[in-house]
Amino acid sequence: MAGWQSYVDNLMCDGCCQEAAIVGYCDAKYVWAATAGGVFQSIMPVEIDMIVGKDREGFFTNGLTLGAKKCSVIRDSLYVDGDCTMDIRTKSQGGEPTYNVAVGRAGRVLVSGMGKEGVHGGGLNKK
């Protein structure tokens, strides 16, 4: 899956993202490529199932995790034709800053990007 790392690198090159990942969500439910040292490297199959699962309401109430990082779902259009994105925000633990996360669905993968502090989620999901 080394070819996917160049896509992650391309997502990072404009300086808006602090990390990015390509994650399989069909048969190969694991991180295919990710920014080294980031929370996306630790995304688990159960977290992938939550994002792509049939229950499209539960994560609005209970939140979800990405790489064990607690997050809130802001907008879910992952299964809306022509959009296929989710806007997520990390939750602050211990007073740390929160960050916008965009997840896009394409083919057999999820493309995820976490913005740097102050980067708006709407711009992230257009990547």
Domain regions of the chain by residue span: 3-124
At 23 the pLDDT is 98
Q: Quickly name the fold that domain 3-124 has.
A: Beta-Lactamase (3.30.450)
- The distance of Cα 58 from the centroid of its chain, to the nearest Å, equals 17
Span 61-88, average pLDDT: 96
Q: Residue 2: pLDDT above 70?
A: no
Q: Residue 1: pLDDT above 80?
A: no
Provide φ and ψ at 6, rounded to 5°: -65, -30
Both tokens of residue 14? 């404009």
Overall pTM > 0.95: no
From the list 4, 48, 43, the residue with the least C-alpha distance to 22 is 4
At 72 the pLDDT is 98
> Strand, helix or coil at 122?
helix
Q: Do the Cβ atoms of 40 and 67 come closer than 8 Å?
A: yes
